[in-house]
Amino acid sequence: MASSGESVDVLLSLLSDAGFDEIEASRIIYYGEKYGHIRLVDSNPPRDLVGFIWSWYSAWAWAVLCFLVVTSLSVFVLPQVEPWIYLRYVFGAVYVLYVPGAVFIEALYPKRDELEDLERFALGVGLSLALVPLVGLVLNYTPWGIRLNPIYAGLSLLTLVLTGAGVYRKYGYHRLALESL
C-alpha cells in the first residue's frame, strides 16, 4: 500500500473499509512504519535549515526553549514562598538533572531509531549528572563563582548550544533522507 504513495488518510480509510476502527487502523499504520513494513514520507518536507527549524521536525527544540523560559520564570519571577517554591523545585530539578543531558543525547543520536525512549531518558540523566558538575567546575575558576545566576546562565548557554547542535544534526539526516527520495 505505501509503495504506491497513498496518504495516511487514504490508508486509514482503506483500513476502516476493511473493518478496523480508527484507533486500530492508526495502531496498524504506526507499527507498520515502526517495524519497516511501510514507509511514511512527508508530502511537503522543509528544504532548508530555516524551514526545518520552523517545522514540526524541530518541535523538541521549541519544547526545550519553552521549558527554559518557564524555568526562568519559576526561578527568578515567582515569589519564593509556598506554594510557588515547589514549582521552582520541580522545574529546577528537571532543568539540572535531565535537560542538558537530553539535548546532548539528541545531538549525539539524532535519528529516533538509534535509541529507545528509555535509553534516551537514562542517558539523558546520566549525561546531565556528568555535564552539570563540569559547568560548576568551569565557573569555580571564573570571577563569578558558583552562585545561582552564573550557574543558571552557564547551564542555559550549554543547553542552548547543545540544542542548536541537535537541530543541525537532525537537519543533516533530514537532508540526506530528502536526497535519497
Mean pLDDT in consecutive groups of 10 residues from the start of the chain, 181 residues: 66 88 89 86 87 93 97 91 91 96 96 92 97 95 92 96 97 88 69
The pLDDT, as a whole number, for residue 1 is 42
Predicted pLDDT of residue 45: 87
pLDDT of residue 108: 96
Is residue 45 classed exposed, middle or buried when 0-12, 13-18 and 19+ CB atoms within 10 A define those classes? middle
DSSP letter, residue 37: S
Position 4 scores a pLDDT of 59
Q: What is the pLDDT at residue 6?
A: 74
For position 159, what pLDDT does the model report?
97
C-alpha cell at 106: 539528541
Supply the pLDDT for residue 35. 87
The pLDDT of residue 165? 97
Q: Which residue has the cell 492508526?
A: 26
Q: Residue 83, preceding bond cis, omega within 30 degrees?
A: yes
Tell me the whole-structure pTM to 2 decimals. Answer: 0.82
Residues 6+ positions from 22 with CB-CB distance below 8 Å: 12, 16
Residues sharing a CB contact under 8 Å with residue 139, sequence separation 6 or more, in sequence order: 145, 146, 150, 151, 154
Question: What phi, psi does 24 have (nearest 5°)?
Answer: -65, -40
- The pLDDT assigned to 2 comes to 42
Q: How far apart are CA 95 and CA 33, in angstroms?
A: 33
Domain range list for the chain: 2-34, 49-180
For residue 78, the tally of other CB atoms under 10 A from its CB is 14
